[in-house]
Structure 1
Amino acid sequence: MANLALFDLDHTLIPTDSDHEWGRFMVKQGMVDAENFARENDRFFADYKAGKLDIHAYLIAMLTPLAKYTRAQLADFHAQYMHEVITPAIFPVAQELVKRHREAGDLCCVVTATNEFITRPIAQAFGVDTLIACEAETVNDDPHAPYTGRPTGTPSYKEGKIVRTEAWLASLGKTWSDFEHSYFYSDSHNDIPLLEKVTDPIATNPDDTLRAHAQAKGWRILELFQVS
């Protein structure tokens, strides 16, 4: 029987935060007001690390700039972002981790609080087709329609990751009990709710709070790479 393998993305599979780096990229490209956005981007990032992020306010701040551009323009921006920022941060050790689960026949999914526009190409770069991420609203049901600049659906953040994961499993006619092992790899104390839900939680490159929690619980701790 196949197992379930869930992966957080930022600071778990890559040694950086793709959301924060996308914000910096938008500043660099002149997509946003440099001074104000950079300050807000850093503040939101600090709030996330402190576990007090207003996810709705953050999503609006990150998604609003997308509404100014066509999907083709955004695809060009993202391709540049991948080339300059993300691809250099994808290391073989992380690719091998995902590959082992895929080759074992496990049902794999990236579950991230970063929005789907930023993360879908990154998940695909790891060979993972299923992505649970914060959703960006479009002007109509056409998947290529322009973005409105607003979020939609339940944010995949903290307990929201459980809600979204269970909805995805239900769409496949499955529940947690259908898997002998369910794995979740994450670096963040924000992900403790989902880590508590799986049979095999793996604190991966954990922050200090998660490391202490994992040690107290006897969870596996994985140092996938050294973060500079």
Structure 2
Amino acid sequence: MSRESASENPRNLQSRSVLAGQAAAAAAEVENALAPEPNLGAAAFFDVDNTIMQGASNFHFARGLHRRKFFTTGDIARAMWQQAYFRIAGEDPEHMANARAKGLSFIKGHTVAELEEVGEEIFDENMAHKIWPGTRAIAQGHLDQGQRVWLVTAAPIEIANTIARRLGLTGALGTVAENIDGVYTGQLVGEMLHGEGKAVAVTALAEREGLDLSRCYAYSDSYNDLPMLQLIGHPCAVNPDKKLRTHAKAQGWQIRDYRTGRRVAVVGGKAAVAAGTAGGAWRVMQAIRRKPR
């Protein structure tokens, strides 16, 4: 029998298949042995804008949509003017109600699948290089300890899910845009996930997942996220704004700042112009409209 015919012998093929199966099983056993023991009672919650990512995720997303002709440069200029007004005038119920009424009208008529696909592209273009390595390392540290890690952000859930998935995190909580049969209506489901809303969402998730919030961790840059930070046993201020830094020092909270020297001023300035707080970032997007057809 020739060497070639021997290699095709059914018995040889079967033996090779058995060896392959045994090797795969052994590799899986090693992988499972190296995997961290799940720590189901504890978890970590991360704000996104200026906490895990430099600047506002909505602004980075808007840049990508602008390049794809979803809206005009004039729309962006009007959004920036409105954001400047909000920063000067401050937040009040009328502004919040107006923001909710206008929420996500720029994607009205587009499909969920389309925005998810575009979101993947925009993450690679505008967001991947904006991730703070220090905060990313913290999140990975929680994963390595067997803890689950969620993003909690005012950004649309589609953006939040994309960021969480690309960073290998457990999942995300974000603002939900209404869709009917996979097509956006331009309205929000409930309220924007901002301020007290984040605390409510985290509490609901903890009840569903059986988490002990006193064992959990929370990270944010913004004083607006104080309700969420105070809810958690181990709060941490990351790249904090002035009010949060002052509060964190008074409470003895851990503070981590990955900005240095001029970079602090540049990043802070861009955040102020583009979106400021997570709530401000959402308003930038709310003021943007689809390009007239």
The interval holding the TM-score normalised by the smaller chain is 0.7 to 0.9
Aligned twin of 2:63: 24
Q: Which runs of 5+ in 2 are unaligned?
A: 1-38, 268-293
Deviates more, 1:90-99 or 1:44-53: 44-53
Shift of 1:86: 0.3
Report the Cα distance in structure 1 between the residues aligned to 2:142 and 2:90, rounded to whole angstroms: 29
User: What is the TM-score when the length of structure 2 is the normalising length?
Assistant: 0.67
d(CA) in 1 for partners of 2:200, 2:171: 16
Does structure 1 retain, via aligned residues, the 8 Å contact 2:45–2:152?
yes
For 2:126, which of 52, 72, 85 is the aligned residue? 85
Relative CO higher for 1 or 2, CA cutoff 8 Å, sep ≥ 6?
2
TM-aligned CA distance change 1:121 to 1:91, over 3 Å: same
- Partner Cα distance (2:76, 2:134) in 1: 34
Contact conserved, 1:8 with 1:112, CA < 8 A, in 2? yes
Contact residue 221 and residue 239 of structure 2 kept, 8 A: yes
Which of 170, 186, 197 is the equivalent residue of 1:129? Answer: 170
Task: Give TM-score, length-normalised by structure 1.
Answer: 0.84
- Structure 1 match to 2:184: 147
Q: Does the CA-based 8 Å contact 1:59-1:115 persist in structure 2?
A: no
Amino acid of the residue matched to residue 40 of structure 1?
A
SS at match of 1:94: helix
Residues in 1 aligned to 2:143 and 2:116: alpha-carbon distance in whole angstroms: 27
1:206 aligned to 2:240?
Answer: yes
AA at the equivalent of 1:23: A
Q: Percent identity over the alignment?
A: 28
| Structure 1 pair 84–22 and aligned structure 2 pair: CA distance change class (3 A) | same
Distance in 2, Cα, partners of 1:167 & 1:160 = 11
**Residue 45 to residue 25, structure 1, CA distance change in 2 (3 Å):** farther
Supply the distance in 2 between the matched residues of 1:49 and 1:194 (Cα, whole angstroms): 25
Q: Counterpart amino acid of 1:96?
A: A
Number of positions where the alignment pairs a residue of Structure 1 with one of Structure 2: 221
Give the match for residue 139 of structure 2. 98
d(CA) in 2 for partners of 1:90 and 1:150?
A: 29
1:121-169, Cα deviation, whole Å (9 max, x unpaired): 01112211321111111114xxxx1211111034321011111111122
Counterpart in the other structure of 2:194: 157
Letter of the 1:89 partner, please give it: K
Q: CA 1:196–1:63 in structure 2 vs 1: closer, same or farther (change >3 Å)?
A: same
Checking the alignment, whether the CA contact within 8 Å between 2:195 and 2:224 is kept in structure 1 is: yes
Matches for 1:27-106 after TM superposition, within 5 Å = 27-41=66-80, 43-44=82-83, 47=86, 52=91, 54-55=95-96, 57-58=98-99, 61=102, 63-106=104-147
Q: Which residue of 1 aligns with 2:218?
A: 184
Greater C-alpha Rg: 2
Judge which range, 13-22 or 53-62, deviates more. Answer: 53-62
What are the superposed Cα offsets for residues 192-214 of structure 1, whole Å, 9 maximum, x if unpaired? 11111111110100011111111
Pair 1:77–1:202, CA change in 2 (3 A)? same
RMSD, aligned α-carbons: 2.6
Corresponding position of 1:119: 160
Cα distance between partner residues in 1 of 2:62 and 2:97? 16
8 A Cα contact 1:23 1:38, kept in partner: no
Tell me if the contact between 1:55 and 1:155 (Cα under 8 Å) persists in the aligned partners.
no
Q: 1:129 to 1:77 in 2, by over 3 A?
A: same
